[in-house]
């Protein structure tokens, strides 16, 4: 459920990038932050974990037009990829309006992708989210590498909801803004 700030005439939406460790969640957020006009974005905040180079979460407000005469602001977060941070994942998911599930397309990462995908749905159901009211996009990342699953195979393995799929290479920026645009349109359509 978006937060409405009537005094500022602003609707705040929360979008969470979810996926296994090192799948590209942070790379997506960093790429978006670098490419967005500095006047339209806030400060990128991150807290690094001790065990890995992944980030605990990133916070990035983006202003993207108006809904019902109010400005829209999107707050983008990532969750930690490692499964032992599940309590943090649950915390970040609270109040979510849209989710980008970032799948690592490499064949060797199938088990981690499936475990993270199932964990996402377990956490959403445990907190009582109405899944029909949440925007959801699956980003098939690392398409620039060799030894990757086909888009069709990943669709069959991970997309039981029939959600939009966006092939990407977050390192190169391919598909990053298409993913963001797709989830933002869904979020606005489901809450407008």
30-71: per-residue pLDDT in tens? 999 888 888 777 878 776 666 543 343 445 567 677 787 888
Long-range contacts of 154-159 (CB under 8 A, 24+ apart): 154/103, 154/105, 157/110, 157/113, 157/114, 158/101, 158/103, 158/113, 158/114, 158/117
143: left (phi over 0), alpha (psi -120 to 50) or beta: alpha
CA angle 167, 173, 175 (to 5 degrees): 30
Residue for token pair 């869904």: 186
Q: Is 13 helix (H, G, I), strand (E, B) or coil?
A: strand
142-191: per-residue pLDDT in tens? 999 999 999 999 999 999 999 999 999 999 999 999 999 999 999 999 87
Structure tokens at 93: 């998911």
Structure tokens at 50: 């001790």
């Amino acid at each position: 459920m978006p937060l409405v700030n009537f005094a500022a005439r602003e609707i705040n939406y929360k979008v969470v990038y979810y996926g296994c460790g090192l799948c590209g969640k942070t790379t997506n957020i960093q790429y978006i932050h670098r490419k967005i006009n500095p006047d339209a974005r806030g400060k990128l905040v991150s807290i690094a974990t001790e065990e890995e180079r992944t980030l605990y979460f990133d916070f990035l407000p983006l202003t993207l037009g108006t809904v019902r005469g109010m400005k829209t602001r999107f707050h983008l977060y990532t969750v930690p990829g490692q499964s032992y941070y599940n309590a943090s994942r649950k915390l970040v998911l609270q109040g979510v309006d849209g989710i980008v599930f970032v799948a690592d397309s490499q064949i060797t990462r199938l088990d981690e992708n499936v475990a993270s995908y199932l964990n996402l749905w377990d956490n959403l159901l445990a907190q009582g989210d109405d899944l029909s009211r949440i925007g959801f996009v699956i980003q098939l990342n690392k398409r620039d590498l060799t030894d990757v699953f086909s888009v069709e195979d990943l669709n069959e393995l991970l997309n039981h909801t029939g959600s939009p799929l966006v092939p990407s290479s977050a390192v190169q920026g391919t598909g990053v803004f298409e993913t963001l645009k797709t989830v933002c349109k869904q979020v606005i359509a489901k809450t407008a």
